[in-house]
Amino acid sequence: TKPVYILAIETSCDETSVAIIENGTIIRSNKISSQIDTHQRFGGVVPEVASRKHVESITRMLEQAVDEAGVSLHELSAIAVTEGPGLIGALLVGVVAGKALASALGLPLIGVHHIAGHIYANQLVHELVYPCLSLVVSGGHTELVLLEGPGSFKIIGRTRDDAAGEAYDKVARAMGLPYPGGPHVDRLAQEADTEVKLPRSWLEADSYDFSFSGLKSAVLNVVNQSKMRGETVQVAQIAKGFQASVIDVLVEKASRAVRAYGAKQLLLAGGVAANKGLRSALAVRCEELGVPLLVPPHSLCTDNAAMIGAAAFLKWERGEFDTMELKAEAQLDL
Ligand code: KG4
Ligand code: ZN
């Protein structure tokens, strides 16, 4: 049988990415143009700038993805695009490009939820066994998602305030580290010998929800107190204490959910999945639980179009297509 080639587009935040995925699992190409350098001097993503950069990069990414895949446009089976959630102006660039391609080539259009993409990045490297549980930790999301079958998502816990990655970035910024701060905090935490003790936010005993704003405030207090006293800020020790608090809560709640729902695998997803401390702590816990931990390689953890193509394949199999009415949505339920 003929392979299914899906051309996928991702522009929800600050990466312009186009990929071609074969049968939902094989990456034929995955081109990513990151805007991090541009946003770095503002200390965060500036939505207007992001949209403009997407417009500048999208055609080049499309051309490169098609070239590298060695698949002609006539062999494509569908066009997939992230419809939300994300920055509205950024999403719009991808959605408009996706619609234009689908209509010019007479192909079905598939809108994909960004988080479904992060979760299904795992399918590019592993075979999924259901029911499985996904811990989604990114700059915009912190969720525990139960997958009872392919494409069936049930959110059993979520952050009530900041996302984990957002907390990393804000804490890093307060300590004078560059954007995005997650990787810097991670590195400093590995280097430090001692840690500043910081609180853990467990919420109600039976809750799978998260909260990181209290922890963030605790870090800001420590930083400000050091500055007021004219002492040097113990950046590495604070990073270690912060990371320990985040990881303790993520690992504990994820493993409790694995047991409660009889999950056969734990899938780590999102940009914070790149965190070395989180990966190793989860690996140890999963070993104890006797449940495999699935983690995509670093390049598939942060935003990319390959993961969107992987998630789109599930919809392709079921014939779940969108019309030209498909809209970019800043807020969108999974
Ligand atoms: O998934 P992603 O690329 O974008 C969103 O959809 O949000 O995630 C980006 C987030 C940023 O907050 C970044 O600081 C964080 O992932 N991140 C990390 C690490 N690498 C990236 N956080 C902690 N440790 C890391 N090693
Ligand atoms: Zn993301």
**Residue-range domain boundaries for the chain:** 5-120+301-318, 129-295
Task: Give the Cα separation of 328 and 92 in Å (integer).
Answer: 6
Q: Residues comprising the binding site for Fe cation?
A: 114, 118, 303
Please give the pLDDT value at position 188: 97
84 Cα to the center of ligand 1, angstroms: 18
Beta strands in the chain (DSSP E): 5-10, 15-22, 26-34, 78-84, 109-113, 132-137, 142-147, 153-158, 266-269, 293-294
Separation in Å, CA 219 to CA 169, 195, 209: 12, 12, 21
**What are the φ and ψ backbone dihedral angles of 112, each rounded to 5 degrees?**
-125, 140
Please give the pLDDT value at position 35: 84
Please give the pLDDT value at position 256: 98
- Least confident interval from 16-30, 41-55, 189-203, 214-228: 41-55
Structure tokens at 21: 């995925």
Confidence of residue 289 (pLDDT cuts 50, 70, 90): very high
Structure tokens at 2: 């003929």
The amino acid at residue 201 is S
Task: Give the Cα separation of 175 and 197 in Å (integer).
Answer: 16
Would you mind telling me the total number of residues written for the chain in this entry? 334
**What are the φ and ψ backbone dihedral angles of 212, each rounded to 5 degrees?**
-120, -5
For helices 182-191 and 164-174, angle between their N-to-C axes, nearest 10 degrees: 70
Region 245-272 average pLDDT: 97
Please give the pLDDT value at position 92: 98
Confidence of residue 163 (pLDDT cuts 50, 70, 90): very high
13 Cα to the center of ligand 1, angstroms: 12
91 Cα to the center of ligand 1, angstroms: 19
Please give the pLDDT value at position 40: 82
Residue to probe by mutation, ligand 1, list 34, 114, 302, 334, most atoms within 8 Å of CB = 302
Which ligand number lies closest to the CA of residue 142? 1
Quick one: which atom of ligand 1 is closest to the CA of 302?
A: 3
Q: Examine domains 5-120+301-318 and 129-295 and report if their fold is the same.
A: yes
More confident of the two residues 140 and 119: 119
The topology under which CATH files domain 5-120+301-318 is Nucleotidyltransferase; domain 5 (3.30.420)
Confidence of residue 150 (pLDDT cuts 50, 70, 90): very high
Task: Give the Cα separation of 206 and 73 in Å (integer).
Answer: 51
Q: By alpha-carbon position, which residue is closest to atom 14 of ligand 1? A: 182
Model confidence over 63-88: pLDDT tens digits?
A: 999 999 999 999 999 999 999 999 99
Structure tokens at 275: 């965190």
Residues facing 135 on adjacent strands: 144, 268
Q: What is the ipTM metric for this complex?
A: 0.98
What architecture does CATH give domain 129-295? 2-Layer Sandwich (3.30)
For helices 235-261 and 182-191, angle between their N-to-C axes, nearest 10 degrees: 100
Task: Give the Cα separation of 147 and 282 in Å (integer).
Answer: 19
